[in-house]
Structure 1
């Protein structure tokens, strides 16, 4: 009872005196807090937490290096918080309402409607990888987010309308027609739209879990705006009594 405590746990790693000396140095420099973590289940927990916090800070400020200081947003230099704002805007307003998304989500200075659209396209395209559901809905989303420069449909229709976007049996026929096509040069294969490059790993995990919810919500809001509300959209936006 009167002898000093002996750290018998060190014997797991061998009986080398050098190891014993190093352990004594670590215990003395660590202070009283290290004594609490000296059991076999708790060894190294505090150290792991410190490393994790450093990695978190590293990822937190990573995107500041790729952002222009003059206020312009570089393509792909989107922080995770900004991606969440774009996603929230898609869940609230749907596809194509970039002005509303920009004005309601408090983006930092420099964001424009075209930046919102670019980020939203990469997000939705990444969700299509993990979508599990009706192929007709998948085709609808593909046609909805196709960039204008790659869109082969008639561009004389009103932007945001459902004209030219196949639905029902038309979508099924288009799916059968596309089964034998070569998609190696499809616009979604371009590096510009690669979510693995421009989205953070933690945010990609989030999208993989909520892909179905996001795509179904975008489709529903699109139909509500164009099929149910229709021509009254502008009157409602202006607050005009109907």
Structure 2
């Protein structure tokens, strides 16, 4: 399908949708690839583009990440997480507007599937990950995490310590706490010990990156802090022996796609 024909098709589609709302409104969304929309300098009135079945690798709330090869762009839209679920596994066109603040991203106007259109619109609020090219890792120690286990003796060695981690397995899973209650948690798994990621210290931008890592089955490299020994009531020895869980850690920064995302204090 030529881009000219695709553009005309999008105009007709939007006109048909809005005609039923009391008037005909033509919207010109130039059909392009994600790479063309982001980097090719293609001219489109109002920076409006139609993108065929964008691959969402992570969505949380009003913000998502879309991959095309080695290119990743951010998409925003009101209740985007639930709207993406409505088109999972289907062919669709995303009508987007390229925006430049607070960083380059694409605001989603609609998803179109045949004669069906899901209206989305501008997000009221979306928190982007903070991505840096440089970051001072001097305060983070290098330890052999493969030697650390869930024993009290070993955990005392990393008490009140910030240290680097490399190629850690990250998961979002249902676990039971020491009281037998079921909770959902991000887990970091190492050869001899597992840690629960402190959700209270996790900002939305960094959590979006965690979702992307999990969905693409990628390992996590970054830095964590182990603030203190787990209490006997929350993590008794019997519980640690059965689960290999050594307590809670704070995720200080994550390396992703050549950038570093630090936690926002």
TM-score band (shorter)? Answer: under 0.3
TM-score by length of 2: 0.21
For CA contacts below 8 A with separation 6 or more, give which structure has more relative contact order: 1
- Normalised by the size of structure 1, how large is the TM-score? 0.22
The structure that has the greater radius of gyration is: 1
- Greater helix content: 1
Greater per-residue strand proportion: 2
